[in-house]
A and B are shown apart, each in its own frame.
Chain A
Amino acid sequence: MIAVSGMSAVTGNREPDRAGLLTMLYTMKLTRALEERIERRLYRQGKIVGGVYVGRGQEAISVGAGMHIRRTGDPARDDVVFPSHRDMAVFLMQGITPRRVLAQYMGRRTGPTRGRDGNMHMGDMACRLVSFISHLGDTIPVAAGCALTFVMKGTDQVCFAFFGDGTTSRADWHTGVNLAAVQRLPVVFICNNNQYAYSTPLSRQMAVARVADRAVGYGIPGDSVDGNDVLAVYDAVGRAVTRARAGGGPTLVEGVTFRMTGHSAHDDAGYVPAATLEEWRGRDPIVRFTAHLETRGLLDRTALADLDTRIEEEIDAAVEGAESDPWPAPEECLEGVWHA
C-alpha cells in the first residue's frame, strides 16, 4: 500500500487563476454528485440497466489533468483524450453533458452510443474523446497512433491517455507506451493509481513501489504525485504537457489515490481493509481543496452552498431529461456495423 503522508497542504508550483480554481472545484463536485446519483440512487432504483463504475475519491486526477486539455473547437488544434472508466470529470470537461452521461447509462437513444454500449464506454470525436473499451490498455497504442498523426502534421497537439494501476500489467499498455517512447510521441500517460484492480491490490499487480517506476524501462520520465491533491496533479501534468508540446516525448504521470468504492456498484469491496478506507477518507480531495480555497479566501460558505445547490439542480434536470429520452428502436440493433 502506498502511504501518502497525512493532510499535507495542497501544493503546486503553478496553478490556474481564480476562475480556473473554482472551475476545478465545481467539476470535482459535479463529478462526485453525478456519480453518487448514478451509483447510489439510479442504480439501486433499477434505472441503470448495466454496470456502474465510479471514480469516487479520484476526482482530483481527472480534473487536475483535464485542465490542461486544449479545447478551442478547432480539430486541428485541439488535444485528444482517452479517458478510463473512472474519469467522469474528463467527459464532463470535454463537453459531454450530465444528461448525455445519464442517457448513456440508461441505454437511451440520446446517449453517445445510442444505447449500443453502457456506462463509461462512450466517445465522441466532436468532443475529442475516444471511447474506452472493457479490454484494459487497448486505448494506449490507439493514443500513440493518434499522437503519431500530430507529428506527421507538425502540430503541437497532445494526447491525454488515462488508465488505472491494473492496466499497466497489460500487453497493450506496454506496446503502446514503448511505441510512444521510441517515436517520441506527444502523449501524456496518466495513471489513476487507486491501488486496487477489482480485488487485486497493487502489491499483486507489480513488484515496483509506484507505477511511475515503470517509466525507466521505457526511457521516459516518470512522475508520481499525490493524486488527492488537485494542484499537485495540475502541476505535474502541466509539466508533462509542456514537454509533449515541445517535442520532448511522452511522460508517465501517476496520481496516487484510493478507490473509495467497490470495483463497480455491485461490489462491497469487503476485501479492502476498513482502516485503509478510513485513512483515505481523511484525505478526500474535494474536502481538501475546498478547505484550501477557503483558507486562501477564494471561497466562502455562501458561495459553497450556492455551488452545491446549483449542482443538485443541474443533476435533477439531467435525470429528468434522460428519463424522458427515448429508447432506441429495436431494429436499430442492425444498423451501422459498417459504413452505410
Chain B
Amino acid sequence: MKRGQAKATIDLAGLYPGPARAIVNPGLTRDQLLEIHRLLRLNRIVEEKLSALYRQGHITGGLFSSLGQEAISVGTVFAIRPDDLLAPMIRNIGSVLARGVTPRDLFLQYLARRDGPTRGRDGTLHFGNVEKLSLISPISHLGTLIPVMAGAALAVRMRGEDRLALTYIGDGGTSTGDFHEGFNFAAVLRLPFILVVENNGYAYSTPVPRQVAIASFAEKGPAYGVAAESVDGTDVLAVYAATRRAADHARRGAGPTLLECRAFRMRGHAEHDDMHYVPKDLIEAWKDRDPIDRFEAFLVAEGHARREDLEAAAVVLSRGVAAAADEALAAPLPEPHEALGGVLCEPGFEKPWWPA
C-alpha cells in the first residue's frame, strides 16, 4: 500500500451496521419501559416540530437533529440519577427532556424568546442550570465539556457526594485536544465520570475512518487506563444497561468509563445539509435500525403494550408539543437593550435566571 493518504476513496465498510441483537430487558418495570418510550417519542416529536419551525423561518440559527440517535440520549439519562451532573451535546435534546426540561422551554430557546433559558442570548441546547437541574450548558467548541465535566466530578467527590458526571462527545469530537486533556485528567484522578462517545458515523462530511485509525472508540479506553464498552446505540435498553454499569463503576470509586454508542446520523449535519456525501445504501442499511421502531416492536412483542396504546400515547404527546410551540411562538422576543448586562456579575445577573 502506498504511504500516507493511500486510498483515493476512503473505506467506509466499518460504518455499516452489523446484525442487530434482540433487545433484552435488564429488569425494568413496565412503567419504566413505558416512560422510556414516552421520552423517545417526545424526543422525536419535538425535533419534528423544530424542523417544521425551521422550514417556516422561525428558527434563525442552526438546527441539529438526533434522528436515529434518540436511544443514546434517553437511555443514558434514564440510567443516572436526577442529581447527577449532565452536559448534553448539540444532538442530545432527548437528554434534557429526560432531565425534565419542558418542550415549551425548548421552543422558547430555539425561537430566541425573552423568556427562554438564555433570554435569546444563545440558541439550541446551549443552556443549563447547575443548581436546579444539575445541567451544564455546552458551547459550540467540541470537547470543551470534557475537562469541565471532569472538574464537576472532582468537585462532587471533594464534597463527599456520590454524584457522577456524564457528558457526550461525537466521533469527531474525540480528535480535539480538550477531549484528550480532559479525559486523561479524569482517568488519572479516577473521577466519577461517564463519557459517552456517540459514534454516528460522520462529523459533518468527515467519516470516522478519516477521524481515527481505530475500529471502535472503545479501543481508546485502555489507552487512558479506564473501563470501556461499546454498545448498540439504537437499542435503548442496551444503552441503559451499559450506562448503569458505568454509573455503578463510577460510584464505587473505580473511575471513568468510556462508553461508545454506535448509531447513525440519519439527517445532515444540520438542517441545511443534504448529506450528498453519504452513500445512499449506507443510509438504507441503517433504516431498519430505527431506535423507536425497534423499541416499540419489543414492547409489543413482550406484551408490555399494545400497538394502539403506543400510538394513542404519541398523539397525546404531539398535541402537547404543538401547544407548547404555539405558546412559544406567541411569546415576546427580547428588547434590544437587553443585549447588555450580565457579562460579569452585576445586580440581576447573580445566578441563572432559568428555570424560575
**Direct A–B contact in the complex, CB atoms closer than 8 angstroms:** yes
* Interface positions of A (Cβ within 8 A of B): 148, 151-152, 169-175, 178, 181-186, 203-209, 213-220, 246-247, 249
Q: Using known A-B contacts A181-B212, A218-B212, determine if residue A206 contacts B225 with beta carbons closer than 8 Å.
A: yes
* Residue of chain B at shortest CB distance from A180: B213
Contact of B190 with A by CB under 8 A: yes
* Residue of chain A at shortest CB distance from B179: A174
Chain B 204-229, CB-CB to A under 8 Å as 1, else 0, gives 00000111111100011011111000
Query: Chain B residues with Cβ under 8 A from A203's Cβ?
Result: 188
Of B1-9, B100-108, B305-313, which binds chain A? B1-9
Complex-state Cα separation, A213 to B224, whole angstroms = 8
Query: Chain B residues with Cβ under 8 A from A204's Cβ?
Result: 188
Q: Indicate if the CB atoms of B213 and A247 lie closer than 8 Å.
A: no
> Nearest Cβ in chain A — how far from B27, in angstroms?
31
Q: Indicate if the CB atoms of B180 and A171 lie closer than 8 Å.
A: yes
Query: Chain B residues with Cβ under 8 A from A208's Cβ?
Result: 222-225
Contact of B94 with A by CB under 8 A: no
Chain B 1-35, CB-CB to A under 8 Å as 1, else 0, gives 11111100000000000000000000000000000
Q: Indicate if the CB atoms of A186 and B3 lie closer than 8 Å.
A: yes
Q: Indicate if the CB atoms of B4 and A185 lie closer than 8 Å.
A: yes
Q: Indicate if the CB atoms of B177 and A205 lie closer than 8 Å.
A: no
> Nearest Cβ in chain B — how far from A136, in angstroms?
12
> Nearest Cβ in chain B — how far from A4, in angstroms?
20
Q: Using known A-B contacts A175-B175, A175-B177, A183-B4, determine if residue A219 contacts B214 with beta carbons closer than 8 Å.
A: yes
27 residue pairs bridging A and B, Cβ less than 8 Å apart: A148-B4, A169-B180, A170-B181, A171-B180, A171-B181, A174-B179, A174-B180, A174-B181, A185-B4, A204-B188, A205-B188, A206-B184, A206-B187, A206-B188, A206-B225, A207-B187, A208-B225, A213-B225, A214-B223, A216-B219, A217-B223, A218-B212, A218-B213, A218-B214, A246-B3, A247-B1, A247-B6
> Nearest Cβ in chain A — how far from B71, in angstroms?
26
Complex-state Cα separation, A154 to B223, whole angstroms = 32
Which of B1, B184, B225 lies at the interface centre, i.e. has the most chain A CB atoms within 10 A of its CB? B184
Q: Indicate if the CB atoms of A182 and B177 lie closer than 8 Å.
A: no
Among B5, B185, B222, the residue within 8 A (CB) of A217 is B222
Interface of chain A, main secondary structure: helix
* Interface positions of B (Cβ within 8 A of A): 1-6, 175-181, 184-185, 187-188, 190, 209-215, 219-220, 222-226, 255
> Nearest Cβ in chain B — how far from A164, in angstroms?
15
Complex-state Cα separation, A95 to B220, whole angstroms = 39
- For the A-B complex with A175-B175, A217-B222, A219-B215 known, give 20 more contacts whose Cβ atoms are closer than 8 Å: A152-B4, A169-B184, A169-B185, A174-B181, A175-B177, A178-B213, A181-B212, A184-B3, A204-B188, A206-B187, A207-B187, A207-B224, A207-B226, A208-B225, A213-B223, A216-B222, A218-B212, A219-B212, A219-B219, A249-B3
> Nearest Cβ in chain B — how far from A197, in angstroms?
12
Query: Chain B residues with Cβ under 8 A from A152's Cβ?
Result: 4
Query: Chain B residues with Cβ under 8 A from A214's Cβ?
Result: 223-224
Shortest Cβ-Cβ A-B pairs, 5 listed: A171-B177, A217-B223, A151-B4, A207-B225, A247-B3
Complex-state Cα separation, A173 to B176, whole angstroms = 10
Query: Chain B residues with Cβ under 8 A from A183's Cβ?
Result: 4-5
* Residue of chain A at shortest CB distance from B186: A207
Q: Indicate if the CB atoms of B175 and A178 lie closer than 8 Å.
A: yes
Complex-state Cα separation, A170 to B184, whole angstroms = 9
> Nearest Cβ in chain A — how far from B212, in angstroms?
6
Among A174, A175, A207, A215, the residue within 8 A (CB) of B188 is A207
Which of A148, A217, A219 lies at the interface centre, i.e. has the most chain B CB atoms within 10 A of its CB? A217
Complex-state Cα separation, A172 to B219, whole angstroms = 20
Complex-state Cα separation, A178 to B3, whole angstroms = 16
Complex-state Cα separation, A184 to B10, whole angstroms = 13
Query: Chain B residues with Cβ under 8 A from A182's Cβ?
Result: 209-213
Complex-state Cα separation, A178 to B5, whole angstroms = 14
> Nearest Cβ in chain A — how far from B21, in angstroms?
26
Query: Chain B residues with Cβ under 8 A from A220's Cβ?
Result: 213
> Nearest Cβ in chain B — how far from A121, in angstroms?
22
Which of B179, B180, B222, B225 lies at the interface centre, i.e. has the most chain A CB atoms within 10 A of its CB? B180
Complex-state Cα separation, A186 to B225, whole angstroms = 27
Query: Chain A residues with Cβ under 8 A from B184's Cβ?
Result: 169, 206-207
> Nearest Cβ in chain B — how far from A73, in angstroms?
24
* Residue of chain A at shortest CB distance from B185: A169
Q: Indicate if the CB atoms of A178 and B4 lie closer than 8 Å.
A: no
Q: Indicate if the CB atoms of A184 and B176 lie closer than 8 Å.
A: no
Q: Indicate if the CB atoms of A217 and B214 lie closer than 8 Å.
A: yes
> Nearest Cβ in chain A — how far from B217, in angstroms?
9
Query: Chain A residues with Cβ under 8 A from B210's Cβ?
Result: 182
